[in-house]
Structure formats: C-alpha cells, structure tokens
Amino acid sequence: MLDVELEAAPSMVPWRGSQRWALTYNGTTPGPTLRVRPGDRLRVTLRNRLDSPTNLHVHGLHVSPSANSDNVFVMINPGEEHTYDYLIPADHPSGTFWYHPHHHGTVAEQVAAGMAGVIIIEDELDTLPLIANATERVMLLSDPRIGTTSQVLQWSMMGMMQGRFGDGVLVNAVPQPALTVPTGTMERWRILNASASRYYPLRLDGARWWQISSDGGRLASPVNATGLVLAPGERAEVLVAVDQATTVALTAAAWQTTTGMGGMGGASNQPSGATETILTVIGTGPDTTTPTVGGALNNVDSLADAHVDGTRDFTFAMGGMMGGGMGGMAFTINGRSFDPERIDIEAALGTVEDWTVTNTTPMAHPFHLHVWPFQIMETSDRRTPITGWKDVVDVPAGGWVRLRVAFRDFAGRTLYHCHILDHEDLGMMGIINVT
Ligand code: C2O
Ligand code: CU
Ligand code: CU
C-alpha cells in the first residue's frame, strides 16, 4: 500500500533563474511521482489550501469511479481535505498514468498553473532486460501559465476558445534540459503531455527511437519511428538509442489542424508556427551501433475481433452564444453542454461498444474517457492504429475516430470529455453511467 498526502497550494517555484508563482502539490510542480504495482492499494489524502475548490482524478487508471475511488464528483472546498482510496486490480496493465484536478470549472486554470503529477504502475514487463537496462526518465511536458501574481489565471474568452497556452515548453518544469547519454546505452522515456491545450508533434532526428507503450500500457511490439504526436493527456513510452557522440534535439513542430472551415478564423491548436526545442541529448563516448529493438513485448488483449453489443455517435461542436452576457461560445457534445445533474449515456457492465466521435469544428479536440480504456479501430485521417490501450485520442478538425470500449470490472458514473481543459470547463463533457 502507498499512502501519501498531497497539499494543493500556491507556492513560489524556480523559473529561469528567478521565481514564479504556481499552483502546486506539496510545493512543487510537477507534484511527486507515485509508483505502485498491480494489486496495490493507493491512498491519497488531498488537502485544499487553494482559494478555489479542487479534487483529484487519476487519469488512465482502471479503477472504480465510485465512493472514495476515482470519483470526480467529489468537491474539496478551500480548507477541506478528502482521502481517496484506490484499489488497483491485480491484472492492471503497467504503464505511465497521471493525476490532476478535475473540479468542473477550475480544471484548466489549476492544471495550467502547475497541478499535475505522474503515476507509474510497474510489473514484470519492467524487468525485461531491454527495458530494465535502459535509463528511465519521466518527462512531464507542460507550458504553464504562471507569473508573479494570480492575475495570470485570468484568461479571455477568445483565449479559452483556443485553449490557454503558456510562454514556453518545460520538461518537469525545466526549460530545454540537456541530457548526457553514453553512446551504446539505451534510454527509456516516459513522456506525458500535461499541457492544458498544446499538442506536441515530437521528433527526434539523429537518434533511433521505438515506441513501447501507449496511454494504457505496453504495446504488442516496439514501433520504430522518428517521432509521434501527443495530444493533451496522452502518454507514450519510448526507447531511445544514441549511437554517436553528437547532440540531437527533441523538437515539437508546429501543429496546424485548421481546415479552413468558416467562422473561426485563426482557431488552431498551436500558439505560433514555430518549431520548439523540448530538450537536447548529448551523446558521449565512441561511436557504436546499439542493437535493434524488436520482437514481442506484451500480450495485448485485442478488441479487434470482440463481439460488439452496440454503437454510439458523439459529435463535438462549437457554436452559438451562451446566455448571460458572457458573449462566449458554446462547447458541446451531441448539441449539449455539460450538466452535472444529467446522465448523458447509460451502458451495461460487461458489454463492448463502438463509438464514433465526429469533430465538426475547425480545430482538433482530444477525446478522453475515464475508467475504461479503449482501442482505436479506424480514423478519418487513416492513421495506422497501434495495438495498445488508449484513453485519449485526437479527433482531427473536420474528421472522426472510431474506437472500441469494453465496460469491464467496474460499474459507476463518470465522465468523457475533450482534454483541451478550457473546452472541458466550458462544457464539452458528458456523463456516462455503467450499470
Ligand atoms: Cu485527464 Cu477527465 O481527465
Ligand atoms: Cu481522465
Ligand atoms: Cu476541445
């Protein structure tokens, strides 16, 4: 059992040689990394020393959404505390998960100000020599919106429409860190996109890299690539080999998914068109050739041939004006904005469903479902779906994604939503009840 206390509070944190004000867990951003094993019990007592309500969500964990488990309907007011108690199933996949606040209406400002941390689940797969001999690094990518006062939390409606961005990309709160890597060794990076809105189309030119995990655990076999895209909330684990004594950069290119569909000129998922350096890797030592990575990695229980009990359609839309003189835009799924009193869909425990998520807007939206991971069957942009578990999937502008979800193990009420957190706070979210 892992028993931890987290205090949510404003703190001054190091920032490019000086200090800035952030919202933190235990005084740091990111918060502490929590490591557990399948079958473990994780208890977290969260104390709220902020001046707004908060709570805790364990993103990607396949645990109960009820009672004191991953119950996002719990509200912890300023000055209050709550103890979460998560029973991690004995057959839970190992992988990289995370925790962040989920109180509707304050999620974007709290996450963007620094509140996020990594949860690692380890099992026998982590002892495979290929993985165990590699140097592990946890990389939480963020672009926090922090400054010298809480005023930085104020954000315009136009800004929320696009999703808030910070003024620079950080790795574990450090701008452009440099890693020194002996040639001939392997690195293992657990990368999490904890940004409120930013997509990271990552590339590592000049080194070899294999993806070994998606959001919800190890892939069936390593996938050789030169990069991958991480939408907000997504994770990937990669093995990286640096064969030569050279310096290579991990970069995030511009991400433009605007289709030119009318009405929303300028909506995109990137604050600028510039390619940013995320970190540099400095290879040291004699040139070598590290072994090729391949073979079977994991027995992924594929849903491709599962019996499908039903289908559903979800449509992301932005449009119309909200009432109340806000002058804002409505963010909807199937024509409705979030209502905490309404159950949007009912599903039966033990069934398998195919969901088609369609995006009618000129910007990309990452679709996320709590508790039950899914597999991607098909996408409008013909990405080759990898064989692995996902809990966030990018739905391209004007496009669609078809995913398959198995409602296993847990009944209860929880959420699905867009993981651009301003969109979620503005209502692009619904409630699912599994019974
Ligand atoms: Cu990462 Cu509903 O959240
Ligand atoms: Cu989640
Ligand atoms: Cu969105």
Segment 207-233, tens digit of pLDDT: 999 999 999 999 999 999 888 999 999
Q: What span, in angstroms and rounded, lies between the C-alpha atoms of 382 and 61?
A: 28
Give the confidence band of 269 by pLDDT, cuts at 50, 70, 90.
low
What mean pLDDT, rounded, does the chain reach?
Answer: 91
**Could you tell me the distance, in angstroms and rounded to a whole number, from the CA of residue 296 to the centre of ligand 1?**
31
Q: Is the CB of 417 under 6 A from ligand 1?
A: yes
Q: Is the CB of 415 under 6 A from ligand 1?
A: yes
Q: Is the CB of 423 under 6 A from ligand 1?
A: no
pLDDT digits (tens, 9 = 90+) for 374-431: 999 999 988 777 889 999 999 999 999 999 999 999 999 999 999 999 999 999 999 9
Tokens 């488990």 -> residue: 69
Nearest CA to ligand 1 atom 3: 59
Report whether pLDDT(47) > 90: yes
- Cβ–Cβ under 8 Å, residues 14 and 41: no
Q: What span, in angstroms and rounded, lies between the C-alpha atoms of 276 and 200?
A: 10
Nearest CA to ligand 1 atom 1: 59
Q: Is the CB of 57 under 6 A from ligand 1?
A: yes
Pairing of strands 174-175, 178-182: unpaired
Give the confidence band of 147 by pLDDT, cuts at 50, 70, 90.
confident
Q: What span, in angstroms and rounded, lies between the C-alpha atoms of 307 and 300?
A: 17
**Could you tell me the distance, in angstroms and rounded to a whole number, from the CA of residue 217 to the centre of ligand 2?**
15
Least trusted range by pLDDT, from 78-92, 153-167, 180-194, 239-253: 153-167
- Cβ–Cβ under 8 Å, residues 63 and 69: yes
For residues 23-46, give the mean pLDDT.
97
Where would I find the beta strands (DSSP E) of 340-386? 345-347, 352-359, 365-369, 374-379
For residues 283-297, give the mean pLDDT.
87
Q: Is the CB of 59 under 6 A from ligand 1?
A: yes
Could you tell me which residues are beta bridge partners of residue 214? 217
Could you tell me which residues are beta bridge partners of residue 179? 281
- Cβ–Cβ under 8 Å, residues 82 and 55: yes
Could you tell me which residues are beta bridge partners of residue 279? 250
Q: What pLDDT is stored for residue 382 in this prediction? A: 84
DSSP 157: H
Tokens standing for 368?
């996320």
- Closest approach atom of ligand 1 to CA 100: 1
In 3-state terms, what secondary structure has residue 390? Answer: strand
Q: What span, in angstroms and rounded, lies between the C-alpha atoms of 312 and 69?
A: 27
pLDDT digits (tens, 9 = 90+) for 168-183: 899 999 999 999 999 9
Distances (CA, A) of 286 to 208, 283, 404: 17, 9, 47
Q: What pLDDT is stored for residue 395 in this prediction? A: 95
- Closest approach atom of ligand 1 to CA 233: 1
Report whether pLDDT(321) > 70: no
What is the rounded radius of gyration, in angstroms, for the C-alpha atoms of the chain? 21
Tokens 């922090």 -> residue: 146
Report whether pLDDT(327) > 70: no
Instruction: Please list all protein residues whose beta carbon sits less than 5 angstroms from ligand 3, which is an ion.
Output: 365, 418, 420, 423
**Could you tell me the distance, in angstroms and rounded to a whole number, from the CA of residue 391 to the centre of ligand 2?**
8
**Ligand located closest to 102 CA:** 1
Q: Is the CB of 102 under 6 A from ligand 1?
A: yes
The proportion of the chain whose per-residue pLDDT surpasses 70, expressed as a percent, equals 93
**Could you tell me the distance, in angstroms and rounded to a whole number, from the CA of residue 393 to the centre of ligand 2?**
12
Report whether pLDDT(138) > 60: yes
Q: What are φ and ψ of residue 7, in 5° steps?
A: -110, 120
Of residues 42 and 291, more confidently modeled: 42
- Cβ–Cβ under 8 Å, residues 118 and 190: yes
The amino acid present at 63, given as its one-letter code, is: V
Q: Is the CB of 65 under 6 A from ligand 1?
A: no
Q: Is the CB of 103 under 6 A from ligand 1?
A: no
CA dihedral 270→232→426→396, nearest 10 degrees, is 70
85 exposure class (CB count in 10 Å sphere: 0-12, 13-18, 19+): middle
pTM metric for this prediction? 0.95
The proportion of the chain whose per-residue pLDDT surpasses 90, expressed as a percent, equals 77
**Could you tell me the distance, in angstroms and rounded to a whole number, from the CA of residue 80 to the centre of ligand 2?**
23
Q: What span, in angstroms and rounded, lies between the C-alpha atoms of 352 and 291?
A: 40
Q: What span, in angstroms and rounded, lies between the C-alpha atoms of 416 and 429?
A: 6
Q: What pLDDT is stored for residue 355 in this prediction? A: 98
